[in-house]
Structure 1
Amino acid sequence: MSSDNWTTPDLCDAAEQGAIAFAVMEPMFANYGGREQFCGPAVTVKCFEDNSKVKELLATPGRGRVLVVDAGGSLRRACLGDLIAQSAVDNGWAGVVLYGCVRDVDVLATLPLGVQAIGSHPQRTEKLGVGQIDVTVTFAGVSVAPGAMVYADNNGIMVTAEPLSL
């Protein structure tokens, strides 16, 4: 598979055949970004209804990484909107997997950024500076450690400890 010609079903099949450990997140995510397929090493953040750490991280050089956000599954506030997503694009992030909500969905769909989230909500979070960076996060039946490889497309989200051959 070339680096731009893969699907998560193909990667799951290849991992099974190669006896490579992987996990697939439960199917609760929708694609909101302009990139429907993205992958990269995970940077993790855990926060709840406060996106200060999300904003802080996405303002740093992404180098093709994926921000994995455990926002506690909150359906009451949006942890990512158009301005922070544009910052992620400007800084070279591949995508964001968000166990929480996004907003500005029409703009997100036009940005060259992968965004998978569990829903949309128009209200922003508070900015209290609360959250944990580079901790193992667990949601959707999967634990994601910092540096784990994340592969996402319209079929689902897959996590491996090491990169797969694409």
Structure 2
Amino acid sequence: MNTEHYLPLPELIPQDLLDRFRKLSPAQLCDGMAKLGIARNGAMDADLMPLDDRKVMLGTAYTVDTEDGDNFPIHVAVYQGQPGYVLVVAGKGYPGRAYIGDLMAGAAQAVGLAGLVIDGCVRDKLPLAELDIPVYAKGFMQRSPGKQGPGKINTPVTCAGVEVAAGDLVFGDYDGVTVVPRARLLEVLEASEKKGIYEEQRREVIDQYVRCRDNGEPLPELAPDWVTRLLQGR
């Protein structure tokens, strides 16, 4: 089998950066990337859903490029996986077969992967949800995968509408999955942290408004400054 497109794992994103990202959310990262003009703001398709809304996924991307429900390269990638990586499978949204089930996800958990992103279908829904590893997929299909290969590993892919390179940051929660390009981690982080500060300030204003309303006190301005400026044409 021709495996010339099976490339090595990328370097893990430094833990100090991951710790800062973990204080944010995928939605805040999208807002930060919107400020920077990054395509799609890093947001994967809306129909890529978590199997369990309670789990948070954060790690360094490594990729598989495959199609038509063929999971041979996924097997290879999983068994070469290491802690801290999120496996991103560009499966082209194929609906006719499941790319993985609970056995492969269990193996991914055993090697320490931080999550699985499948642009396509999975099966064994309930056992998958009971695992600790976060899993994102576009649907469920009981039909077994193909195993032809070779596919590609750690080449640039488009997964669920977003371009992903090995080494990018992948962050998922109940809202969906966001991808941050490796080369722009710091500027996205700083822009997103500013959005987090803004949101905290807005919560304080809303809480103050509610207190004043309940106490019969004069009400503060509730609308953000940018709303007022737009209304006044400035």
Q: Fold conserved (TM > 0.5)? A: yes
Structure 1 position 133 matched with structure 2 position 153: yes
Question: Aligned partner of 1:52: which letter?
Answer: F
**Which residue is 2:59 aligned to?**
40
Q: Which has the higher helix share?
A: 2
Structure 1 position 158 matched with structure 2 position 178: yes
Q: List per-residue Cα deviations over 1:40-82 (Å, max 9, x = no partner).
A: 1111111122101111211223221111101121111011111
Separation in 2, partners of 1:34, 1:88? 19
Whether the 8 Å contact between 2:54 and 2:174 is mirrored in structure 1 is no
Q: Extract unaligned runs of 5+ from structure 2.
A: 1-18, 194-234
What is the percent sequence identity of the aligned residues? 34
Structure 1 position 28 matched with structure 2 position 28: no
**Which residue is 1:56 aligned to?**
76
The answer to which of 92-101 and 121-130 deviates more is: 121-130
Query: Shift of residue 161 of structure 1?
Result: 1.3
| Residue correspondence of structure 1 range 68-147 to structure 2 within 5 A | 68-147=88-167
Question: Aligned partner of 2:27: which letter?
Answer: P
Question: Aligned partner of 1:40: which letter?
Answer: G
Separation in 2, partners of 1:2, 1:159? 15
Separation in 1, partners of 2:122, 2:142? 8
Separation in 2, partners of 1:20, 1:90? 38
Query: Shift of residue 98 of structure 1?
Result: 0.7
The answer to which of 66-75 and 137-146 deviates more is: 137-146
**Which residue is 2:13 aligned to?**
none
More contact order relative to length (CA 8 Å, sep ≥ 6): 1
**Which residue is 1:13 aligned to?**
31
Quote the RMSD (CA, aligned, Å): 2.3
Separation in 1, partners of 2:90, 2:46? 16
Q: Extract unaligned runs of 5+ from structure 1.
A: none
TM-score by length of 1: 0.87
Larger Rg: 2
Separation in 2, partners of 1:12, 1:24? 7
TM-score by length of 2: 0.64
How many residues of Structure 1 are paired with residues of Structure 2 in the alignment? 165
Query: Shift of residue 96 of structure 1?
Result: 0.9
Q: List per-residue Cα deviations over 1:105-132 (Å, max 9, x = no partner).
A: 1011011111111001111112223211
Q: Which has the higher strand share?
A: 1
